[in-house]
C-alpha cells in the first residue's frame, strides 16, 4: 500500500514511516520540514502528492497547548484549514482511506465519579481555586471530592483550549468527508506520546520533553500543580504501531471511527518526572504549585476498543520507556 504520511518528518510521523516501511508498505513523506513546498494548506502541492496514493496517514499539525489565545489563527490554519485542503484533495483524487492523528484533549476533563451523584462532568477549574492550590475538581452538584476514572470513546467531548478545539474540528471534517465520499476514516485519539525524537525547548513541546531538557542542563524538572495530575504516557513506537493497525484494518465506510490510543497504564506527571530524574541520575523534581489555565486535572482513557477491534497492544512499559527516553538525549 502506498501511504502518504503528512508530517512524515516529525516526531510521530517519522516513526509511522519507519513502521510502514518495515511491514512492506511504501510510505511517502509530506512535510514542510523535509520540503518547504509540502504544506497541507497548498491545494496544488497536495494534489500532486496524492498521485498514486492508496491511503493517507495525517500526522501534520500544530501541537501543544501553546502560549495564549493569540495562537488561535495559526492553530486553525495549520490544523483545520490544512485538514480541509487535504480532504478535498483526497475526494478529488479518489483516495478513500484516512488515519487521522487525533487527541484525547477533545474530552476536556476526564471521567469523574461522585459517591452521591454517580458520574459527573465538572466545569472548568476556577482561577481562585488554582491560585489557592485547590487543583482537584469538585462535584458540580454537591461540591464533594471526585474519583477520576477512564474515559470511553462515547463520552461527551468538551475541548478546553484552542488546540483541543482544532483537533475536534479535524474529526468533524474527516467524518463529513467519509460520509460524502463513502470512505474509511479512523481517528486515533493519542494520549501523552513520548519517546526518542520528541521536540524540545519550544512552547509547544510536551511536558516529558521539558523535564528531559531541564535534566540535561543539570536542573530539577519543574512540576506544575502538585504533580498528581493523572495521564497515560504512551511510547511513540506503540503509537506508530497503532497507525499501522488502523491503516491495515477494514473500517466501516461512510463514518469516522475513533479509538483512544494509550498504554492503559496511567501515571501521574510527578511519577514521570521522578522516573526521568532517576534514569538521568538526578536532580530530583521540584513541585512548584504553578499551573496553566488551559490544562485539565486528570485525563486517562479506556483503550480497550482499539485492542479488541484492531488487535493492537502497547508493548513499551513505563519504566523501560522512560529510561530509553532519558538516555536518548
- Write down the catalytic residue from 75, 107, 163, 190: 163
pLDDT the model gives residue 223: 97
Confidence band of 64 (pLDDT split at 50, 70, 90): confident
pTM of the model as a whole: 0.94
Question: What is the topology classification, in CATH, of domain 2-110+151-327?
Answer: Rossmann fold (3.40.50)
What number of CA atoms fall less than 13 Å from residue 21's CA on the CB side? 11
pLDDT surpasses 70 at 67: no
Are the beta carbons of 86 and 46 closer than 8 angstroms? yes
What digits encode the pLDDT tens for the residues 129-168?
999 999 999 999 999 999 999 999 999 999 988 999 999 9
* Cα distances (angstroms) measured from residue 274 to each of 25, 41, 157, 210, 233: 39, 41, 31, 13, 14
What digits encode the pLDDT tens for the residues 173-189?
999 999 999 999 999 99
Confidence band of 204 (pLDDT split at 50, 70, 90): low
What digits encode the pLDDT tens for the residues 103-120?
999 998 889 999 999 999
Active site residue 190: no
Are the beta carbons of 76 and 166 closer than 8 angstroms? yes
What digits encode the pLDDT tens for the residues 277-313?
999 999 999 999 999 887 889 999 899 999 999 999 9
Residue spans per domain, the chain: 2-110+151-327, 111-122+132-149
What number of CA atoms fall less than 13 Å from residue 185's CA on the CB side? 26
Amino acid at each position: 500500500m502506498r501511504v502518504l504520511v503528512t508530517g512524515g518528518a516529525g516526531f510521530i510521523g517519522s516513526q509511522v514511516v519507519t513502521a510502514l516501511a518495515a511491514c512492506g508498505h511504501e510510505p511517502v513523506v509530506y512535510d514542510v520540514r523535509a520540503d518547504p513546498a509540502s504544506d497541507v494548506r497548498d491545494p496544488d502541492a497536495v494534489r500532486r502528492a496524492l498521485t498514486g496514493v492508496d491511503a493517507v496517514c495525517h500526522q501534520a499539525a500544530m501541537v501543544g497547548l501553546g502560549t495564549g489565545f493569540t495562537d488561535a489563527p495559526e492553530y486553525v490554519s495549520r490544523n483545520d484549514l490544512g485538514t480541509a485542503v487535504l480532504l478535498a484533495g483526497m475526494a478529488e483524487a479518489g483516495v478513500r482511506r484516512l488515519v487521522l492523528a487525533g487527541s484525547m484533549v477533545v474530552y476536556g476533563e476526564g471521567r469523574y465519579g461522585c459517591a452521591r451523584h454517580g458520574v459527573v462532568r465538572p466545569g472548568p477549574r476556577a482561577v481562585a481555586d488554582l491560585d489557592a492550590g485547590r487543583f482537584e475538581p469538585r462535584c458540580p452538584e454537591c461540591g464533594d471530592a471526585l474519583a477520576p476514572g477512564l474515559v470511553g470513546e462515547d463520552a461527551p467531548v468538551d475541548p478546553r483550549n484552542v488546540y483541543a478545539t482544532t483537533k475536534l474540528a479535524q474529526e468533524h471534517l474527516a467524518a463529513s468527508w467519509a460520509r460524502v465520499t463513502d470512505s474509511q476514516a479512523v481517528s486515533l485519539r493519542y494520549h501523552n506520546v513520548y519517546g526518542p525524537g520528541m521536540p524540545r525547548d519550544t512552547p509547544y513541546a510536551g511536558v516529558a520533553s521539558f523535564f528531559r531538557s531541564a535534566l540535561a542542563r543539570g536542573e530539577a524538572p519543574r512540576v506544575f500543580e502538585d504533580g498528581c495530575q493523572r495521564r497515560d504516557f504512551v511510547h511513540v513506537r506503540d503509537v506508530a504501531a497503532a497507525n499501522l493497525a488502523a491503516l491495515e484494518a477494514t473500517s466501516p465506510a461512510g463514518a469516522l471511527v475513533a479509538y483512544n490510543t494509550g498504554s492503559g497504564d496511567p501515571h501521574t506527571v510527578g511519577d514521570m518526572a521522578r522516573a526521568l530524574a532517576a534514569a538521568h541520575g538526578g536532580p530530583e523534581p521540584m513541585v512548584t504549585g504553578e499551573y496553566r489555565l488551559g490544562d485539565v486535572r486528570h485525563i486517562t482513557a479506556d483503550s480497550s476498543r482499539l485492542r479488541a477491534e484492531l488487535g493492537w497492544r502497547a508493548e513499551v512499559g513505563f519504566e523501560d520507556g522512560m529510561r530509553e527516553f532519558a538516555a536518548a538525549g
